[in-house]
Amino acid sequence: MGVVVAIDAGTTGVRSRVLRTTGLSEISSYREFTQYFPQPGWVEHDADEIWQAVLATLQEVISQLNEPVVAIGITNQRETVVAWSKKTGKPYGSAIVWQDRRTADRCAELAEHLLVVRQQTGLVLDPYFSGTKFEWLIKNREIKVDQDLCLGTIDSWLIFKLSGQKKFVTDVTNASRTMLFDINKMCWSEELCGLLDVPIKNLPTVLPSSGRFGETIEHGALRAGIAISGVAGDQQAALFGQACFSAGATKNTYGTGSFVLMNVGNQCPQPQTGILTTVAWQLETQKPVYALEGAIFVTGAAIQWLRDGLNIIDHASEIGPLAQSVEDSGGVVLVPAFAGLGSPWWDPYARGSIFGITRGTTRAHIARATIESIVFQTRDVVESMSVASGVKVKDLRVDGGAAVVDFMLQLQADHLGVAVLRPKQLETTAMGAGFLAGLSEKVWSSTDEISQAWQLDQKFEPKNVAVGYDAWRTAVKRSMNWIN
């Protein structure tokens, strides 16, 4: 029958993986790309470098195959924006990354429009989302707004390049993260596009997450005519890859940031305080599925900071044993608000803070406080989500790079009071993109068949008394008032 190749275009690198009907194979290729920080709070990528990383990983993976590739799926870092020329295919400067905070003041200016933003998009006014980034690009790079201009997210950029500059499209999940898409009517909002002076004519056509987006042209080992049939933002792809197909099913991805999503079915819920509403996915000819989401900006990135910024560890894998080498954090509390605070606080001006340091504080205490900050932030979100939905989370399916840390997952179960389930395959974003593509091309016949590919690796049951959360809440409030 052939295989599916999933492109996982993340925040720090690109991985292409092969999926067979039983799940991910061992054939994969990875490339990191450069992170740029031109000013405090600004984060940028080179869109051409991302494209070259995608092309290189695809070619390397395909060159190892004996079977044909029947479909390509794409999952991507969400909210990151690119402006480019439809004619030349060249970007207008760097991409602005989802972590970027340069439009915080603009979001504050728009505060009187919060209600319409919440009602139409399910989001909040925050520089995290794409809308104000598009506005900034147009105004500050003096981009000519004509029929040649394309304004898109990373998925749109990659489809455009893979298809030989023929297709300018996106899917409903990525569109729902722009702060410009009406998730009730499932179309671009004329009102919000007008508010931000973002022309609808320069935005991509929005399609279901599973369906034909276009076909490849030949690029070396990448042959022409391969269907691009599945697209979803990384967190929605992870929800799909975790087989969270029933209302109430919940997952958390421990990546650069952490993102908790709960499937809430086909009815778009009313906006809930502190929690986002987003489109989970849409299959061909079916109604969209919605999700509640808690977005935590910095979790795994805090571990990277210990490694690269403070040199407390040499490798990320050291964090678990080091944190576990002490009985507690010694009173140290780390609030990793390096890019402001996301759910449920939504404070773009909060800043990273460490409290409780004494002469006896060691690097092990700081490492443990970092692990605890990931656990505490997830607890903040899950409890807010349960209140908002009226549904208590029965268990939490987890994935992402930090999900290999057993110590952290046990702490998470203790603090949530529910089981934490880790699957055998942690690359659920790639699986979700591949499943969406394969469904369209009949590699899998249904979501029921996909559910059979999900396999449990380890279950962490609550067993210890949860401590430290009150001190965490106090520290969060202080990080939000750091100027005062």
What pLDDT shows up at residue 484? 57
What pLDDT shows up at residue 343? 87
Please give the single-letter amino acid code of residue 10: G
CB-count exposure of residue 59 (10 Å: 0-12, 13-18, 19+):
middle
DSSP conformational letter for 39: S
β-pairing, 69-76 vs 3-9, is parallel
CB atoms < 10 A from the CB of 207, how many?
A: 20
3-state secondary structure of 300: helix
Residue 1 pLDDT > 80: no
Q: What is the mean pLDDT of residues 445-473?
A: 90
List the structure tokens of 254: 């421990």
Digit-coded pLDDT (tens) for 176-235: 999 999 999 999 999 999 999 999 999 999 999 999 999 999 888 788 899 999 999 999
233 in a structural domain = yes
What pLDDT shows up at residue 466? 85
Residue 39 pLDDT > 80: yes
Phi-psi region of 311 (alpha: psi -120 to 50; beta: other; left: phi over 0): left
What pLDDT shows up at residue 75? 96
The separation between CA 340 and the C-alpha centre of its own chain, rounded to angstroms, equals 16
70 in a structural domain = yes
- Top mean pLDDT of 8-12, 209-213, 284-288, 453-457 is at 209-213
Distances (CA, A) of 456 to 242, 352, 422: 10, 35, 6
Digit-coded pLDDT (tens) for 151-169: 999 999 999 999 999 999 9
How many residues belong to the chain?
Answer: 484
CB atoms < 10 A from the CB of 472, how many?
A: 22
184 in a structural domain = yes
Residue pair 14/5 in contact (Cβ under 8 Å)? The answer is no
51 in a structural domain = yes
Closest CA to 331 of 463, 475, 465: 475
What is the rounded distance in angstroms from the CA atom of residue 100 to the CA atom of residue 296?
14
Residue pair 336/298 in contact (Cβ under 8 Å)? The answer is yes
3-state secondary structure of 72: strand
Q: What is the mean pLDDT of residues 72-99?
A: 94
Residue pair 418/394 in contact (Cβ under 8 Å)? The answer is yes
- The domain of 161 spans 3-242
Residue 293 pLDDT > 70: yes
What pLDDT shows up at residue 60? 92
Residue pair 60/29 in contact (Cβ under 8 Å)? The answer is yes
Residue 483 pLDDT level (bands cut at 50, 70, 90): low
Residue 104 pLDDT > 80: yes
436 in a structural domain = no
H helix intervals, 325-416: 363-389, 406-416
318 in a structural domain = no
List the structure tokens of 375: 């656990």
H helix intervals, 183-273: 190-195, 234-241
β-bridge mates for residue 482, sequence order: none
Residue pair 430/74 in contact (Cβ under 8 Å)? The answer is no
- Indicate the number of domains in the chain: 1
Residue pair 302/366 in contact (Cβ under 8 Å)? The answer is no
What pLDDT shows up at residue 96? 96
180 in a structural domain = yes
Distances (CA, A) of 119 to 182, 282, 382: 8, 20, 22
379 in a structural domain = no
Q: What is the mean pLDDT of residues 119-136?
A: 93
Q: What is the mean pLDDT of residues 362-378?
A: 95
Average pLDDT, the chain: 91
Digit-coded pLDDT (tens) for 392-447: 888 899 998 888 899 999 999 999 999 999 998 888 889 999 999 999 998 888 89
Residue 287 pLDDT > 90: yes
CATH number, domain containing residue 197 = 3.30.420.40
Digit-coded pLDDT (tens) for 172-185: 999 999 999 999 99
Q: What is the mean pLDDT of residues 380-401?
A: 87
What pLDDT shows up at residue 480? 87
Q: What is the mean pLDDT of residues 116-145?
A: 92
Residue 288 pLDDT > 90: yes
List the structure tokens of 318: 């050291």
3-state secondary structure of 305: helix
